[in-house]
Amino acid sequence: MAERLLLALGALAGVLGVAFSAMATHLTGAGTLEVSASFLLFHAAALVGIAALILGGHVGRRAALLAGWVLVVGLALFSGDLALRALAGQPLFSNAAPTGGVLLMLGWIGVGVAAFVRR
């Protein structure tokens, strides 16, 4: 079930990435929205890939799920903050983007660790 939710969140990240990319082409000064869209799009593929690796039994389930959830939270904070700044002119909260960026890096480290955890 958790794998399917991770897969669905990857799909949501993809949808938002495409939507934000389209919106950014029509907004003046939407550089942060373009960055948000890019992060959403490539992390969407990563989340789908993590779910597939777990379901296929190729990585340690718990470690990969933890890494996936860290990526989801990091992506929400980082991309959410950048998108909100571009669309509403205000941040999500102070240091949301840097916090999200650190979580994204930790999530990627977790994905690497999951490759070596016993299934």
d(CA 85, CA 96): 11
| Domain-wise residue ranges, the chain | 2-114
Question: Nearest to residue 78, comparing CAs of 112, 111, 108?
Answer: 108
**Residue 51 near residue 69, CB atoms below 8 Å:** no
d(CA 7, CA 31): 28
**Residue 10 near residue 48, CB atoms below 8 Å:** yes
Task: Please tell me the predicted confidence (pLDDT) of residue 27.
Answer: 79
- Residue range 93-111: mean pLDDT, rounded: 97
Judged against a pLDDT cut of 80, whether residue 118 lies above it is answered with no
Q: Which residue has the tokens 């373009």?
A: 34
- Residue range 7-11: mean pLDDT, rounded: 95
Rounded to two decimals, the pTM is 0.93
